[in-house]
Structure 1
Amino acid sequence: MSSVADKLAKKSSSKTSAKQVRLRLVYVDFWSAVKLSFLTAVAFAIVTIVATFLVFLVLQSTNLIGQVDELLGAVTGGEFQLAAFLNLPQVMAFAAVVAILNLIVITVLGAVVAGIYNLMVKVTGGLLVGFTSN
């Protein structure tokens, strides 16, 4: 009788036949690319808003905004106060506007890239992709 280690050694020494398939990507569905780029942009927008909130909290807790405000007050003679412009609602509103603009731009760029790829395939023949099974 053979042990489990002998059986595993026989399995590892035998070569498996790996099948390989080569396919050409000759068309990217326009609406699928738009949907995928929109979902990517939504995730990026959420990350932008959360990161802006966390950075603002760190700046506020370390009192860096107050120190920069004191420095600007010394340079400008007290005419400009940074703390009047940098409060949480205004920072989050700015982050929301940036996130919405990024959402629109990333979605449009995904559609444009899909259209350009579909036009380039007519010249280049497409992207060759290889798949193997082990």
Structure 2
Amino acid sequence: MSSVAEKLQRKEHRSSSSKQVRLKLVYIDFWSVVKFSFLIWLCLGIVLVVATALVWIVLNSTDVFTKLDALLRDILGNENFSITDAFGLGQVLLFSFVVAVLNTVTGTILGALGALLYNLSVRFTGGLLVGFQNN
């Protein structure tokens, strides 16, 4: 009697038929790209605001701002100087929110321009050849 491993070794391996499809990407829907790029940049803007808040909270809780205040008071000689007055959580979050809004607007515009330029360049290049394979 032979073992199961020997039976499997003797068994012929059938080649699985894999299908290949090659497609040309000749058009990108303009409004789909605008909506998609807006959502991507909106998510990145939210991440930016949350990350800024977390970094400020960590720096404040580890007393980095108080040590920096003491160092700048020694350098400047001004006893009333406080870095948290100039860069409080509200000011930092407002600045990061403005940057996030500007990034969202410019990212959406750049995505729209990219789609427009791709659709115009397809007339000259014929499109992007994309291959898919089924295993």
Q: Same fold judged by TM-score > 0.5?
A: yes
Which TM bucket (shorter chain)? 0.7 to 0.9
Look up the match of 1:118: 119
Residues 31-50 of structure 1: matches in 2 within 5 Å? 31-50=31-50
Deviates more, 1:86-95 or 1:37-46: 86-95
TM-score by length of 2: 0.86
List per-residue Cα deviations over 1:82-112 (Å, max 9, x = no partner).
2211211111111111111111111111101
Change in 2 beyond 3 A, CA 1:120/1:63: same
Query: 5+ unaligned residues in a row in structure 1: which ranges?
Result: none
In structure 1, distance between residues paired with 2:124 and 2:23: 17
The sequence identity of aligned pairs, in percent, is 50
Equivalent residue, structure 2, for 1:24: 24
Q: Please give the TM-score of this superposition, normalised by the length of structure 1.
A: 0.87
- After TM superposition, where is structure 1 displaced by more than 4 Å over at least 4 residues in a row? 4-12
- Closer, same or farther in 2 for the Cα pair 1:17/1:98, shift >3 Å? same
Cα distance in 2 for partners of 1:32, 1:57 equals 38
1:89 alignment counterpart = 90
In structure 2, the CA distance between the partners of 1:46 and 1:10, relative to structure 1 (3 Å rule), is farther
Stretches of structure 2 lacking an aligned partner (at least 5 in a row): none
Q: Which has the larger radius of gyration?
A: 2
Q: Which residue of 2 aligns with 1:73?
A: 73
Aligned-partner Cα distance in 2 for 1:6–1:42: 59
Give the aligned length: 132
- Code of the residue aligned with 1:100 in structure 2: it is V
